[in-house]
Each structure stands twice: as C-alpha cells, then as structure tokens.
Amino acid sequence: MQNQLKTILEEAKEQLKNAVSLTEAEELRVKLLGKKGKMTEILRSMGSLSPEDRKQMGMIANATRAEIEGLLSERMNALKEMQKNARLQAETIDVTEPGVSRKLGTKHPISITIDQVCQVFTSMGFSVVEGPEIETVFYNFDALNAPKNHPSRDMSDTFYITDDVLLRTQTSPVQVRTLMKQKPPIKVIAPGRCFRCDTPDATHSPMFHQIEGLVVGENITMADLKGTLDAFAKQLFGPEAKTKFRPHHFPFTEPSAEMDVSCFKCGGTGCNVCKGSGWIEILGCGMVHPHVLQVGGVDTEKYTGFAFGMGVERVAMLKYGIDDIRLLYENDMRFIEQFR
Ligand code: DAH
C-alpha cells in the first residue's frame, strides 16, 4: 500500500507537470482526489488493515494527499498566471503604430448644384419640397394636362412598372402633389431624380435630376415669373448675367417659355460653350395651366401661378465645363474631388 501511494504521488507529479491548461489540471484533481479518485480508493481499502497498520498507513496517506493537494494548487496558480500573461500579451496595443487614415469624401457636383439652386430660391422665400420617384400615370401625366397620345407617355420614353405606375419622367408631378396638399399662397421648389428610357451618351442618361418650381397666389403674372427667374440667374451666374425668354410649349403651362442665360463663359460674344450663339438654354417655364390648378383644387378665378423646371446635370455641366454627363455617375474620386 505504501508503494501504491508512492506511485500515485510520482505519477501525479509527472502528470501535473504535463498539464498545460486549467481544465487538464482540474481533470487530474478529480482523477486523484475526487469521490472515485485513486486516493479515495486507497483510503477506503484501509478498513481491512489491523488498527496498528491503519494508523500508520493513515498518516502516510494523509501526508500524500496533502502533498498532492499542495502540488495541484501550485500548478493551478502557475497555469492561471500563464493564462493571464497570454491574454495580456494578446491584448497589447502598439500605441506607436500609425492609424488607418479615413479619407474625407467630397460633395458631388450634382449635390453642390442642387444646394446652390435651393439656396438661391430659399433666400427668396421658397420652401423645398419633395415627391416620390415612383409615381402614378395620374400625377406624372394626366394631372399635368398631358394629352392621352403625348409621345412622352410611350413605353419607349417612360419606364413603366405597371400600366398605372412608373418612374417619374420629370419633377412636375410634385407641383400637383403640392397643390393638393397646400393652400395658396404657394412658393416651393422640388429637386429630385427623374428617369427616362434614354440610351446613355455624352448628353443623355436614363437617370438624371431636375429642380421644379411652383408659385401660386393672387395676381401672379408673367412679370413675376420673369422677375423671379432673372433674379435667380443673376444670383447663380453673376450680376452680369442677362436672360431672355423664348415662346415654347408644355402641356401644363399656358403660355410656356424657355429661358436662356447669356453665356457665362464668353459673356455673349459666342464661344464653344454657347455654340457661338451667346445664349444658353437653362430652363422651361410658364403660367400654370388652369387645368392643373383645378386638379389641385385651386380656385382659378382667384389664383394664378407660374412654374419652371430645370435639368440639374445641364446646369452643373455648363457651370463646371463638364463635357460628358456619364462622368457624373462614375464616382471616380479624381473627378469628384475637383468640385470641392
Ligand atoms: N417638366 C419639364 C420637362 O421635363 C420641364 C418644365 C417645363 C417644368 C416648364 C415646368 C415648366 O414646371 O413650367 O421637360
């Protein structure tokens, strides 16, 4: 029995040395000192010894047990320390290591242009409103007085989702939504995305942006339209900018016009930007057609209004001298960063 105890102790020493984790050490403890452990087994078997031997063996067994316990707790403490050190090592932060530099983005020329135009109009007391990009045929065409056979309604020009739902081809439906929601006096601009079935080339994109304007009130006349848009052009392009209005046709305005701005590159003498004419077409406009006002529930005996719409890409391209609309959608930072 004494030999047995000796072997157990020797084995325990060896095994503890090889235990490299706390779990392993704990398993060893159970194996040696647990209820079914080797030491317990021996202590139990001492019942068959004579009282003399039992006393002596008991002392040896207890000493062995105490030694094993001591070795166990020593090893466990060492393992705990090792674990802690390993964790600290793993969590070490090298404060001298250079940080990851996060590049600051820049505003896109389209956003800059929208912001500038909105800024000019809000300074004149307009508020900015928005409408959905997914529209109904009613708001995009019917309510805007577009004839049933108008070519812009064709599948080849408009992205239809269903027979009644489409991607808006213009921001003009926001006029109708605003008229239905607000009572005159109304003074709003509505920037946003529009979509048309165009094959991309230097001047066409199936997705583009417009800014719509709508003013409705008592005694609003063509003179208000001209005065407002001339003031806008002077603020956006500089005080020397001149404007001129040419008759045009839109279903939702009567009379309708297009506004040209004197070329801001050559000042009107003729250059490559204005194609020699000295003028640049900038927007469509007109007095809101009574049919549109009526759809919006406006009393056309009391109120009149004017509206306008411009292409944001066109303004941005002219302002920044960008010769291909596709550059605006490639999101090449080398391009975008130029317009800070
Ligand atoms: N919606 C027109 C277009 O996409 C632009 C336009 C013209 C808007 C005249 C207007 C307007 O509000 O009065 O071509």
Angle between helices 22-33 and 51-90 (to 10 degrees): 170
282 lines ligand 1 (CB under 6 A): no
> pLDDT per residue over 86-110, tens digit each?
899 888 888 898 988 888 889 999 9
192 lines ligand 1 (CB under 6 A): no
DSSP characters over 285-302: EEEEPHHHHHHTT--TTT
The pLDDT score that the predictor gives to residue 119 is 97
* Residue 26 clears pLDDT 90, i.e. is over it: no
Please tell me the distance between residue 315's alpha carbon and the centre of ligand 1 in angstroms: 15
Please tell me the distance between residue 92's alpha carbon and the centre of ligand 1 in angstroms: 63
Please tell me the distance between residue 239's alpha carbon and the centre of ligand 1 in angstroms: 25
307 lines ligand 1 (CB under 6 A): yes
Model confidence at 34, pLDDT cuts 50, 70, 90, reads confident
C-alpha closest to that of 286 among 253, 261, 331, 310: 253
Instruction: Name which residue leads in pLDDT, 65 or 122.
Output: 122
Q: Which atom of ligand 1 is nearest to the CA of 210?
A: 4
Please tell me the distance between residue 141's alpha carbon and the centre of ligand 1 in angstroms: 12
* Residue 43 clears pLDDT 80, i.e. is over it: no
The pLDDT score that the predictor gives to residue 10 is 85
**Range of weakest confidence among 55-59, 155-159, 294-298:** 55-59
308 lines ligand 1 (CB under 6 A): yes
The pTM of the full predicted model, rounded to 2 decimals, is 0.73
> pLDDT per residue over 199-257, tens digit each?
999 989 999 999 999 999 999 999 999 999 999 999 999 999 999 999 999 999 999 99
* Residue 192 clears pLDDT 80, i.e. is over it: yes
Please tell me the distance between residue 307's alpha carbon and the centre of ligand 1 in angstroms: 8
Cα distance between residue 63 and residue 161, in whole Å: 89
The pLDDT score that the predictor gives to residue 52 is 84
> pLDDT per residue over 113-166, tens digit each?
999 999 999 999 999 999 999 999 999 999 999 999 999 999 889 999 999 999
Tracing tokens 């102790």 back to the chain, one arrives at: 9
Model confidence at 296, pLDDT cuts 50, 70, 90, reads very high
Average pLDDT, the chain: 92
> Residues 202-212, buried b or exposed e (16+ Cβ, 10 A)?
eeebeebbbbb
| Amino acid identity, position 19 | A
286 lines ligand 1 (CB under 6 A): yes
Q: Which atom of ligand 1 is nearest to the CA of 252?
A: 13
170 lines ligand 1 (CB under 6 A): yes
Strand, helix or coil for residue 75: helix
* 128-to-12, 106, 202 alpha-carbon distances in Å: 82, 23, 30
Cα distance between residue 233 and residue 239, in whole Å: 8
Please tell me the distance between residue 170's alpha carbon and the centre of ligand 1 in angstroms: 7
The residue whose C-alpha atom lies closest to atom 6 belonging to ligand 1 is 309
- Dihedral of CA atoms 10, 12, 13, 17 in degrees, nearest 10, equals 140
Q: Which atom of ligand 1 is nearest to the CA of 194?
A: 4
